[in-house]
Amino acid sequence: MNSNPVDPIAIAIQEDIGEGDVTTEFFVPAGLHASAQIIAREKAIIAGTETAAGVFHRVDPATRARVIRADSSEVEAGDTVIEIDGLARSILKAERVALNFLQRLSGIATLTRKFVNAADNSRVQILDTRKTTPGLRALEKAAVVAGGGVNHRFGLYDMVLVKDNHLIADSGLSAFAETVRRLRQERPGVRIEVEADHLEQVRAFLEIDELDVILLDNMKRTEMREAVALRKNKVKFEASGDITLKNIRQIAATGVDYISVGALTHSAPAINLSLEIRNVTL
């Protein structure tokens, strides 16, 4: 399955420009040439540069956009991120869409880097979730990677994550284990993760050899340590629920392998970036 079946640039351009930029049409001469820069207004981790540059080219293939600071770069206020050269009308038409992508994705990368730094544990991977903006999942997950995080499953099709709501039939552990074994046989390459709310569930799930990951959902740190101490069969542990910059270091210290943070994509503030036109010629 295509992990990015939509064209977010095309959608964003159509949404913003529609039938045309009336302001530019009336106030900017048709033949006016300009050079411009996208400048960071605060310290940040940059992401989405190629997408932003692609917006300018999509609006006008003759526009040249050169990435100065690639994704994953740390920038300070005043640093130039992208340089643009082309018709002023084209640059102005593309400006807001390009900035929207760059500000949003850089915000995700910046917040991710903060969580990675706050965890202060190279053994633990900081994961994203599926709590993404509809249509922008591929871009937002790439921004997580730019910030030093790791992608969890991309969608419902590439990994199994069994949560409480999937077990509404309540057929018992034996039936659950049999289903896991059948899944492993029919889909041998698919990772299998199951959510546990308490230690009794962890102990029960550890008896199922085919599981790859046990998700410790909203557990106390003492419970997480106990769960990790029970580890066998090379199973990995993931912590999730109420993860903040203040507590992630303590959670990482429990011995879990992964920490998933929905806030990386659903609560990242946009980074302040602006486009400045430097020179115009007729």
Burial class (CB in 10 A: 0-12, 13-18, 19+), 165: exposed
Percent above pLDDT 90 for the chain: 90
Q: Per-residue pLDDT tens for 62-75?
A: 999 999 999 999 99
- In the set 15, 42, 43, 163, the catalytic residue is 163
Q: Does domain 8-115+269-281 have CATH number 3.90.1170.20?
A: yes
Q: Per-residue pLDDT tens for 147-181?
A: 999 999 999 999 999 988 777 666 788 888 999 99
- The sign of the CA dihedral 43, 132, 128, 145 is negative
Residue 174: its pLDDT value, please?
Answer: 87
Q: Report whether pLDDT(108) > 90.
A: yes
Residue 1: its pLDDT value, please?
Answer: 46
Q: Report whether pLDDT(3) > 70.
A: no
Q: Report whether pLDDT(50) > 80.
A: yes
Active site residue 276: no
Q: Per-residue pLDDT tens for 179-229?
A: 999 999 999 999 999 999 999 999 999 999 999 999 999 999 999 999 999
- In the set 96, 191, 225, 249, the catalytic residue is 96
Q: Does domain 120-266 have CATH number 3.90.550.10?
A: no
pLDDT band at 6 (very low <50, low <70, confident <90, very high): confident
Residue 169: its pLDDT value, please?
Answer: 61
**Nearest to 7, CA basis, from 51, 48, 49, 47:** 51
Q: Report whether pLDDT(112) > 80.
A: yes
Q: Per-residue pLDDT tens for 124-139?
A: 999 999 999 999 999 9
- In the set 128, 140, 217, 238, the catalytic residue is 217
Active site residue 96: yes
Active site residue 140: no
Q: How far is CA 95 from the centre of its chain?
A: 23
pLDDT band at 79 (very low <50, low <70, confident <90, very high): very high
- In the set 71, 195, 238, 257, the catalytic residue is 195
Active site residue 195: yes
**Nearest to 180, CA basis, from 152, 214, 156:** 214
Active site residue 19: no
Q: Report whether pLDDT(4) > 80.
A: no
User: What residue spans define the domains of the chain?
Assistant: 8-115+269-281, 120-266
- In the set 41, 131, 153, 249, the catalytic residue is 131
The answer to whether residues 101 and 12 touch, using CB atoms and an 8 Å cutoff, is yes
